[in-house]
A = this chain, B = another copy of it.
Amino acid sequence: MRAISELGEKKVIETIVGCLDLMPDMSVPFGDDVSAIKLGDSTLAVVKTDMLVAETDVPPGMSLRQAARKAVVMNISDFASKGVKPLTVLVSLGLPSSLTEKDVEELGLGLNQGAREYGAYVIGGDTNEASDIVISCSLFGVCDEQVLVKRNGARPGDIVAVTGQFGKTAAGLKILLEGLDAPEHVTKPLKEAVLMPKARLTEGLALAEAKVLTASIDSSDGLAWSLHELSDASNVGFTIEHLPIAPEAVEFARKHGLDPWELGLYGGEEYELVVTVKPELWEKAEKIMKNLDVSFTAIGRATEEKKIELTVNGETRPIKRKGWEHFRN
């Protein structure tokens, strides 16, 4: 009998889903970033849960307040990628009984901060005794069925685009986890990227509202992983020809003889949006993001053939399904 450390998270989820009676008439398929329930006419109730486990998800140097904030923000990022505004957060906490009252307060402040930064409220939850800190958040929001952007709508020819720049969290984690060093002006933003992640909520809501996206996901498990997920859901491939790597990550990579593309593709805990856009709507999408003063870069195209490749300087190499996967890392 195989242990789940050999199976990996994807197979674990498949096994569980295989046990479930499927709800008839699901508006969002299993495996997308959120779940949804029809409320009548075209309104959807949108829900999402994701758990932070201190042992695996909280690097050294991250405070309890930051950990709690991150537990909320990583859920909000999934709502952002679907174009859904989160209204409320429920929090289920597992707490070791050795924590102090001050620790609990720090957790409470972080939860509130994570929610309020994005206009949501923590409205309930429960606490439990556990051997490690576990923070399970669940979000609720409401949206129009026509607005929610799923993973499965990308078509060959669509432009793939991303917000922001990549590689910072991968480099930041190397500093925090492996103790690699870097000059102060680089260390600070790289660590900050890990400790205080931001969700692209305004951007996701604006793009979805304007109906310019065919598919969307966030890059929380790494850009490469996200491309593979979009590829599986939409049944397309991707040719990537460009990738905005953060200058701090480039400098960090140079210092340590690392490949900046590797940092950008196979990192994780990076909450950018990875979206596909119909070519005829590209200009509109670009304009929306320019108005928001947000970096938005076309990085390639969706292709008929289900291959995911990086082509730079005439050289082509496969983008592997590699990134953050529980039970394997």
Contact = CB atoms under 8 A, between A and B. Distances in A.
A294 interface: no
Nearest to A136: B136
A91 interface: yes
Given A37-B88, A127-B326, 19 more contacts: A1-B101, A3-B101, A4-B99, A7-B101, A9-B127, A11-B101, A18-B105, A19-B105, A19-B109, A21-B121, A30-B124, A37-B123, A39-B142, A47-B90, A48-B90, A49-B90, A51-B93, A55-B130, A127-B327
Interface residues of A, number: 79
Given A19-B109, A123-B26, A104 B48 contact: no
Contacts of A23: 88, 121, 123
A151 to B, nearest CB: 13
Interface string A112-147: 100110000111111111111010101010100000
Interface in A69-117: 87-88, 90-95, 97-105, 107-109, 111-112, 115-116
B124 A48 contact: yes
A interface, over-half SS? mixed
Given A19-B109, A37-B140, A3 B94 contact: no
B2 A37 contact: no
Contacts of A94: 51, 53, 94, 134
Interface string A1-21: 111110101011101111111
Nearest to A22: B121
A56 interface: yes
16 contacts: A4-B103, A19-B111, A19-B112, A20-B111, A23-B121, A47-B140, A49-B91, A51-B92, A51-B136, A52-B128, A53-B128, A53-B130, A55-B130, A56-B130, A94-B134, A129-B326
A45 to B, nearest CB: 6
Contacts of A3: 97-101
